[in-house]
Structure 1
Amino acid sequence: MTTLTEAQAQHVASPGSPPPLLEVRGLRKRFSLSGDFLDQLRFKGGRLVRHREFVHAINGVDLAIQRGEALCVVGESGCGKSTVARTVMGLISPSAGEIRYAGERIDRLSPKALLPYRKRMQMIFQNPYASLNPRMTIQQTLEEPIRLHHPDWDRRRVRDKVTEVMAAVGIEPDWGGRFGHEFSGGQRQRIAIARALAVDPEFIVADEPISALDVSIQAQVLNLLMDAQRERDLTYLFITHDLAVVEHFGTRVAVMYLGTVCEVATTATLFATPRHPYTQALLSAIPRLEDDRPQPIRLTGEVPTPVNLPSGCVFHGRCPHAEPRCRREVPVLRPQADGSRVACHAVEEGRL
């Protein structure tokens, strides 16, 4: 793992702010496409050479999440949002960078050493139809994490805790003896939320928790998450591609493009004055009812492949403000006067 210098780390958290609950520094993740060693061998020019290809899913992500806030990570499909979520939770090992929780580095911990953090950090997955064990009743599903993290609790105390979290998310008591396939998507996601809350975490990663649900149910689940945050003082890393959800739910927003963070700002600032060209194009595509709204920004070109990343700024091939520096030099997140941070040479040079 690489360790960031002090100069690099200053872009993560604002000076004078309280220490973040979760801090990600220079996070990178790549996945091999080349198979095992023998699959990587090729004949080239009469010689045997080793050829390796990688998907560069995350490319130097810096994030800091303060206690009690909901940081929403947005971007188009394939930009690395969910990979960031899984890497933060330790489900995927990073290729480089650091992950710190409450000041302690956790990305290098063994599974046993990471266990206390598992209780403090929980995850709600995108697909409620796949995240519940079909062989377990709802009662067993909710009891399992409690028994894992509280092996000293007796059966009655465990059942009382299950009853408490079921009531907190609006689950009927008679659901306990039924299986996951007997419920709708919205009901299953409530069960998944109850499972996450069962061990009283302080930090929750929600990976597009409403994208698989009917629109009529999405608001109910969102309100449930917001109520849980207020009542339990939760902190969220909320992954989504729905900008309407971000505007309703998020405290701050991080915009990602091709594995990099383009812009980080408070929700109000981002929606009022987006600075990065990609953020501007993204927000211009939101349907509005105003008659005098500007025309959506139409980006030209195709999204580059994460296998062969472009040089310099990853957005330069589609950016109308790109100049030669953008093709050579990777921009870094720099603080702006309005409190946001933007990774854009055009913004830095005052061209945008």
Structure 2
Amino acid sequence: MQTDSLLEIKNLVKHFDISGGLLDQLQMENGRITRKHTVVKAVNNVSFEIRKGETLSVVGESGCGKSTLARTVMGLYPPNSGEIYYAGQRIDTLSATKMLPFRRRMQMVFQDPYASLNPRMTVRQIIEEPIYFHNRGISRGDAKEKMHAVMRSVGLDPEWSGNYPHEFSGGQRQRISIARALAVEPEFIVADEPIAALDVSIQAQILNLLMDAQEELGLTYLFISHDLSVVEHISTRVAVMYLGCLCELAPAKELFANPMHPYTTALLSAIPALGGEKKKHIHLSGDVPTPINLPSGCVFNGRCTFANDRCREEIPIARHTGTDRICACHAVEEGRL
């Protein structure tokens, strides 16, 4: 692990068994009753690091495993295999008690501000709960002062602290969620599509809030999004996922200027452009395979115009293709692009 790395994941795998009960698993094959397990392969052998102070964005189509990756990193889902390191210490094997110090340092902002806040709690209770939990013995006066300060920092009037979530707009609710995350003074925040459920007019405000907080507090972000224009604006580096696999990882400017992986190229070609030279939109053929039954070899081979027999048989390894670039593609490795 590099000295400037805050978080590192190695060969992370997260699968979900959706077989159901015993009766759901029984199937008839060739005149015999067999028991079949159905597994969703959400994240498959993903490795990367996040450096202190940067924003690493993860992009890809819906269902590619972005949110599952984020929740596994945060410990909300236990990984099937792989390793997660925070500040050099492995955390995926820690007990709930030993994980507590890291809970304060790692916080999460969820996508849906309507579902992530307890409707039975006031804003004061929502923000003060983590303050009390992570600061044993703190006085009520100090907790209230801290709560007011964090509300002001996200653009909320402290006088609203007695109100309930349903009394706020979507943008205000997301500000409350961000305030709850900042209340314990974290180093690292996972933002799981924090603006996807908001009106376009409010999205820029929330993005600016996140960027200002990062600059003022020295925060590190893992930013999950499917909005490529936002990702280009906010990111230091970008990781591209397809069907639970990491396709490419590169500095944001380099990735948007010169994508390497065929899927990244197709993904970026879909960004709308106003004025100037129009980009040619790449239409991918075929359907997206199901994560229950992944294709052999490269998961993108069925939709890639550069695929050959090796692509259909051998899983590509994410290799360094430059100073700070990673790409998992046989065609790039062989110089066929």
TM bucket (normalised to shorter chain) is: over 0.9
The Cα offsets for residues 75-118 of structure 1, whole Å up to 9 and x where unpaired, read as 01000000001001111111111111111111111111111110
1:99 aligned residue:
84
Q: 1 CA distance for matches of 2:266 and 2:309?
A: 21
2:196 aligned residue:
211
The Cα offsets for residues 203-238 of structure 1, whole Å up to 9 and x where unpaired, read as 000000000000010000000000000000000000
Corresponding letter in the other structure for 1:268: K
2:121 aligned residue:
136
The worse-fitting range, judged by mean Cα deviation, of 82-91 and 331-340 is 331-340
The 5-angstrom pairing of residues 149-298 of structure 1 reads 149-298=134-283
Q: What is the Cα deviation at residue 137 of structure 1?
A: 0.4
The Cα offsets for residues 175-212 of structure 1, whole Å up to 9 and x where unpaired, read as 10000000000000000000000000000000000000
Pairwise CA RMSD of aligned residues?
1.3
Identity %: 62
The Cα offsets for residues 270-297 of structure 1, whole Å up to 9 and x where unpaired, read as 0110000000001111111244323111
Is 2:300 aligned against 1:315?
yes
Q: 2 CA distance for matches of 1:46 and 1:283?
A: 49
The worse-fitting range, judged by mean Cα deviation, of 336-345 and 118-127 is 336-345
Q: 2 CA distance for matches of 1:294 and 1:217?
A: 28
2:42 aligned residue:
57
2:100 aligned residue:
115
Q: Structure 1, unaligned stretches of length 5 or more?
A: 1-12
Q: What is the Cα deviation at residue 337 of structure 1?
A: 2.7
The worse-fitting range, judged by mean Cα deviation, of 212-221 and 292-301 is 292-301
Corresponding letter in the other structure for 1:151: R
Q: 2 CA distance for matches of 1:280 and 1:314?
A: 16
> Could you state the TM-score of these two structures normalised by the residue count of structure 2?
0.97
Partner SS, residue 265 of structure 1:
strand
Change (3 A) 1:225 1:314: same
Q: 1 CA distance for matches of 2:29 and 2:112?
A: 44
- Contact kept, 8 Å, 1:269 with 1:338, in 2: the verdict is no
Q: What is the Cα deviation at residue 19 of structure 1?
A: 4.4
Partner SS, residue 225 of structure 1:
helix
Q: What is the Cα deviation at residue 47 of structure 1?
A: 4.8
The Cα offsets for residues 139-179 of structure 1, whole Å up to 9 and x where unpaired, read as 01000001111121111111111011011111101110000
The Cα offsets for residues 112-148 of structure 1, whole Å up to 9 and x where unpaired, read as 1111110000000000011110000000100000111
Change (3 A) 1:46 1:302: closer
The worse-fitting range, judged by mean Cα deviation, of 337-346 and 154-163 is 337-346
Q: 2 CA distance for matches of 1:40 and 1:107?
A: 30
Q: 1 CA distance for matches of 2:279 and 2:71?
A: 37
Q: What is the Cα deviation at residue 73 of structure 1?
A: 0.2
Partner SS, residue 26 of structure 1:
strand
Q: 2 CA distance for matches of 1:277 and 1:203?
A: 31
Q: What is the Cα deviation at residue 44 of structure 1?
A: 4.1
Q: 1 CA distance for matches of 2:3 and 2:328?
A: 23
Q: What is the Cα deviation at residue 38 of structure 1?
A: 4.9
Q: 2 CA distance for matches of 1:174 and 1:208?
A: 28
The Cα offsets for residues 293-344 of structure 1, whole Å up to 9 and x where unpaired, read as 2311111010000000000000000001001000001111111135311000
- Contact kept, 8 Å, 1:313 with 1:330, in 2: the verdict is yes
Q: Structure 2, unaligned stretches of length 5 or more?
A: none
